[in-house]
Structure 1
Amino acid sequence: MHLPKFVPNVQRAAALLALGAGALLAGCAVGPRYQAPHADVPAKWSTQAGATAAQPDLHQWWLRLNDPLLNALVDEAVRGNLDVATAAARIREARAFANQSDSARYPSLNGTAAYTRAGAGPNAIAGLSSTPESGTASPGSPTHLFQAGFDASWEIDLFGARQHAFEAAREGLDAAQWDLRSTLLTLIGDVTTRYVEARGYQARLALARATAHSQEETARLARVRYTAGSTSGLDVANSAGEAQATLAEIPALEAAYAQAVHSLSVLTGKPPRALLARMQQTQDVPTPPLPVALGVPADALLSRPDVRSAERRYAQSTARVGEAQANRYPRVTLVGSLGTSGTQFGDLARHSSIGWSIGPSVTIPLFDAGRLKAAAEIADAQRDQSFIAYHAAVLAALQDVENASVTLSRETERAEGLQHAADSYSEASTIANALYRSGSTSYLDLLIAERALFAAQDALIQSRVRIATDYIALNKALGGGWDGPIAPD
């Protein structure tokens, strides 16, 4: 298309206006400038028992439990968990929103084209119809009109509203990415915890079945001795009742085991019964390596994705305050249009009628009954809430580490005591069994010894499960999560 010589002048005028707007932009932007919040944290943890102050190694910490099946389940969960998929979709949403906000800072250009075919009937009034002398067809002959053009507009971000909106969207994208990391951290902690619990239930089931079998043998011996007249019916009744009482605990343990495996299956994105076959073979409860390095509190805040997300949300709300404040000021928009028309398509490039317009428009909020002021106050209050939420996340992170550390330390001490108790009760049970079989003691002594041994061994298994889960909780509290590749978002 051949345009008139005055079109470059239009372009120069637009460029001058753009340069002038850019010069004003730096000096007219309104709104608070973001400053990262300061977190008042202690120099060291209050409890170092059972832990070291060295820098913690959080890289794939679950591998140190030395369980290949657990490692495989963690990988499957990262790929198949629905919460992770949702968090990844939210990243895509936040990225698209950031791109949308970024594009609003630039000019928009729209092209238009139209074709009109019109005519009048043979009985049309001559004075109102077109004539050949006027360049158009006579009545009864159709006319043609071709039109083409461009419309452009650019809202000059004089007070920074568009810039603040883009910053808010960009901070929201950062927060969404940290939210994904937080979801992965929680997921891996849940997978490892459910796995440890399932292995614990398996160990308790094996103990209960072995104890019930031993008690049934004792009950059989009591019946033999009763038949021979060497014991009373009281021993028979007590021994049978004790065996049945132990057997009665098995269904509850089986149900708890099934629930743990069902939960583990769902965490990996599979149906509840999907892992029953893979978990069927009994394995020991994973034993974590101790002690655990804690580092310093400031390191935990840098590693915790929920704290990092809360800080990004605070930055986002700060940008929204600036956007709301800038919306209270006038808006300057540079608009322009260029159009051409002709009765034939070829005329658009040669003998067309060309028109153009360019100039700024200003929108000044004179009266809105306090709507824009209220919007700024809302944004400011939301910023305060984000600031409080950040400090709440910091305190929660510190509390999580302190709680997990002290719990792991005390449970380790408790397990040592339970191990000694189980060893002593095992020896007592062996002696009581031998004495009862030789007829040197009553069944009551054997009953007391077997009950104490079963309770001590069961408590020891539960303590080992707690140590493993406390180890998991401590690594979660320190910010240990998935740091490898994930499915493309």
Structure 2
Amino acid sequence: MALTASFPSVCRRRHVTGARAAGPVCATVLVCAVALTGCAVGPDYSGAGMALPASWSGGGKSAAATTGAPQLAEWWARLGDPLLNRLIDGAVAGNLDVAAAKARVREARASYDQAVGALFPEVNGSGSATRSQAGAYRPANTVQGAARASWEIDLFGANRRAVEAARYGLDAATDDLRNSLLVLVGDIASNYVQARGYQARIALAQRTARSQRETEALTRTRLAAGGATALDVANAAGQAASTEAAIPALETGLTQTINRLSVLSGQPPSALAGDFRKIAPIPTPTWRVRLGVPANVLVDRPDVRLAERRFAQATARIGQATAAQYPSVSLTGDISTSAARLGDLGRNSSISWSFGPTLSVPLFNAGKLRAAVQVTEAQRDQYFIAWQASVLSALEEVENALVSLNQEGVRIARLASSVRNYAEALRLSRDLYQSGNVSFLDVLTAERSAYSAESALVDSRVTRALAWVSLNKALGGGWNGLVDASRPVIVDRNTGPHFVNINGSRP
């Protein structure tokens, strides 16, 4: 239940003076209300704090990273791949998730403007014209005009807290857009690396299968000369066929990855197939990543900033809910005039006006308003916990990407040595087999080992490139260019008054 009291209004009609006693009352209320408009209830947001480590655990001994402020602007350009650069530029312009995030920014901006508008008075006007006749009297015309103004005085800061929450919401929407761009750039780079990895695996399988078919042909020749058995021929043919059988699955993976890149770019699947007809090597990161300090993720990671802005927004909403427990005051004013003709409204007319404050005081609501405050306080706690979780996840992603990048560098060096040794072993086994000094089983084993080592090396190069991408992404590297979020996707036309058919379509 709320107690509403209307203070005496000053009323005036044509040539009639208003009550003088009401004037001081209205003035006193107005002065007190204006004096209190700087007041606000609820907690003031002062930022979120969290203890962070002083340095990254793997930063000091990393061969792929170095200290110094992170350099995250266009990190993908350091791979030196023009096609990757072009794909990212196109995806930023065409990705649908990014387009949706832009729309959310426009929505948040409009919500902020709505909240600001509530701080100001509202004025509405109306008018009417009638012609009437009573009995034998001549018909008479009546023209009326009126205006009404109202202003809710923000005594305890409910509207200002709403503006504060809307401003934080706009910041959150902007960070959400930046996070969408960060995820998009990372996904494009990762899928591009995967696509080049599939191409490398396909080329390796095709090259190995040709070599194994040559071994099969050699074995058949030796069988005809009595130097090999049918078992040797069957083993050679089976191993070649097994290698060839892996190619369709790799082709499928390549096609699916290209389809994913096309959709990420806002295009139909396979739209980018032509760009991958020419085989290119797996991107090799040679640039050492500057890690900075863990505290940088609080500023550089848009998802962390997004979580912090939502926490701030939830804090402001506590003030909104708290203000509902306090009295509210609004000022209203009306003026109306009537005359027999339109031209007389400002001259020979009957004019009346009224002005006065209205006080509303909550007296009994069965604890509903207090419960509303408790709801917002619990929501604030949830957003604070979500912010803490986002910080920890960010630190974890950086550490995981860093250790993966370092260890894959070591693994690549070992696998490269393994590939060289197995290639030499394969060459020697074939020479010795042709001279009859080793069995065909030694050749099969050498071929299988050489292929396995090369395949593992390709996988490791892909993993290392993906770890490099993940590290830059985890540090907060995304799109740093300008993004226009002001243009709507759908531009409506002829939105003013117009005729339509009964079914809703225009004639």
Choose from 252, 261, 270 the match for 1:273. 270
Instruction: Give the share of equivalent positions with the same residue, in percent.
Output: 51
Answer with 79-88 or 388-397: which moved more. Answer: 388-397
Q: In the alignment, residue 235 of structure 1 is paired with which amino acid? A: D
Kept after mapping to 1: 8 A contact 2:260/2:269: yes
1:216 is aligned, of 189, 207, 213, to 213
Offset of residue 328 of structure 1: 1.1
Aligned twin of 2:37: 25
Query: Cα RMSD (Å) of the superposition?
Result: 2.0
Distance 1:335 1:470, change over 3 A: same
Amino acid in structure 2 at the alignment position of 1:39: M
CA distance in 2 between counterparts of 1:331 and 1:285 reads 67
* 1:52 to 1:110, Cα distance in 2 relative to 1, 3 A: same
2:71 is the counterpart of 1:61: no
| Change in CA separation of 1:65 and 1:367 when aligned onto 2, cut-off 3 Å | same
What residue is the counterpart of 2:499 in the other structure?
Answer: none
Is 2:46 the partner of 1:35? yes
**SS in structure 1 opposite 2:275?**
coil
TM-score (ref. length: structure 1):
0.92
Counterpart CA distance in 1 for 2:387 and 2:15 is 60
Paired residues of 1:397 and 1:477 also in contact (CA < 8 A): yes
Per the normalisation by structure 2, the TM-score is 0.89
Q: Secondary structure at the match of 2:469?
A: helix
Q: 1:359 aligns with which of 356, 361, 367?
A: 356
Partners of 2:129 and 2:198 lie apart in 1 by 78
Q: Which runs of 5+ in 2 are unaligned?
A: 1-13, 487-507
In 1, Cα distance between equivalents of 2:52 and 2:42: 29
With 186-195 and 108-117 compared, the bigger mean Cα shift is at 108-117
Aligned partners of 2:106 and 2:485 also within 8 Å: no
Partner of 1:88: 102
- Is this contact kept in 2: 1:109–1:152, CA < 8 A? yes
Is 1:201–2:198 an aligned residue pair? yes
Contact 1:94 1:169 in 2 (8 A): yes
Residue identity opposite 2:56 in structure 1: W
CA distance in 2, matches of 1:471, 1:372: 52
Shift of 1:25: 2.1
Report the counterpart of residue 376 of structure 1 in structure 2.
373
Say whether the 8 Å CA contact 1:118–1:144 is kept in structure 2: yes
Whether the 8 Å contact between 2:161 and 2:319 is mirrored in structure 1 is yes
1-structure distance, mates of 2:234, 2:339: 112
Alpha carbons 1:436, 1:443 under 8 Å: kept: yes
- Amino acid aligned to 1:24: L
**Deviation at 1:13?**
9.7
Q: 2:115 aligns with which of 97, 101, 104?
A: 101
- 1:303 and 2:300 correspond: yes
1:180–1:255 distance in 2 versus 1, CA, 3 Å: same
How many matched pairs? 468
* 1:223–1:6 Cα change, 3 Å: farther
1:198–1:353 CA distance, 2 compared to 1 (3 A) = same
Q: In 2, distance between residues paired with 1:221 and 1:439?
A: 13
* Aligned-partner Cα distance in 1 for 2:24–2:468: 68
Greater than 4 Å deviation, 4+ residue runs: 3-7, 9-19
Taking the TM superposition and a 5 Å limit, the aligned residue runs for 1:65-464 are: 65-120=79-134, 129=135, 138-139=136-137, 141-464=138-461
- CA–CA distance in 1 between the matches of 2:170 and 2:396? 28
Change (3 A) 1:201 1:14: farther
What's the counterpart of residue 134 of structure 1?
none
* Structure ranking higher in helix proportion: 1
Q: Distance in 2 between the 1:301 and 1:344 partners?
A: 68
Residue 6 of structure 2: aligned partner:
none
Q: How many Å separate the matches in 1 of 2:354 and 2:431?
A: 110
Q: 1:100 to 1:12 in 2, by over 3 A?
A: farther
Distance between the aligned counterparts of 2:15 and 2:99, measured in 1?
A: 56
Counterpart CA distance in 1 for 2:417 and 2:24 is 91
Secondary structure in structure 2 of the residue aligned to 1:113: strand
Helix, strand or coil for the counterpart of 1:364? Answer: strand
Instruction: Kindly state the Cα deviation for residue 6 of structure 1 after the two structures are TM-superposed.
Output: 7.7
* CA distance 1:106–1:13, change in 2 (3 Å): farther
Displacement after TM superposition at 1:186 (Å): 0.5
- Match of 2:472? 475
1:301 and 1:397 in contact (8 A); partners too:
no
CA-CA distance at 1:435 after TM superposition: 1.9
C-alpha distance in structure 1 between counterparts of 2:412 and 2:455, whole Å: 12
Runs (5+) with no aligned partner, structure 1: 121-128, 130-137
Structure 2 residue aligned with 1:133: none
CA shift digits 1:317-373 (9 cap, x unpaired): 010000000011111000000110011212211110000000000111222232212
Q: Shift in Å at residue 206 of structure 1?
A: 0.2
Name the amino acid aligned to 1:95. Answer: R
Would you say the 8 A contact 1:79–1:487 is kept in 2? no
After superposition, the Cα gap between the structure-2 partners of 1:236 and 1:115, relative to the gap in structure 1 and judged at 3 Å, is same
Q: Which residue identity lines up with residue 230 of structure 1 in the other structure? A: G
Query: In structure 1, how many angstroms separate the alpha carbons of the residues matched to 2:399 and 2:485?
Result: 35
1:294 touches 1:478 (CA, 8 Å); kept in 2?
yes
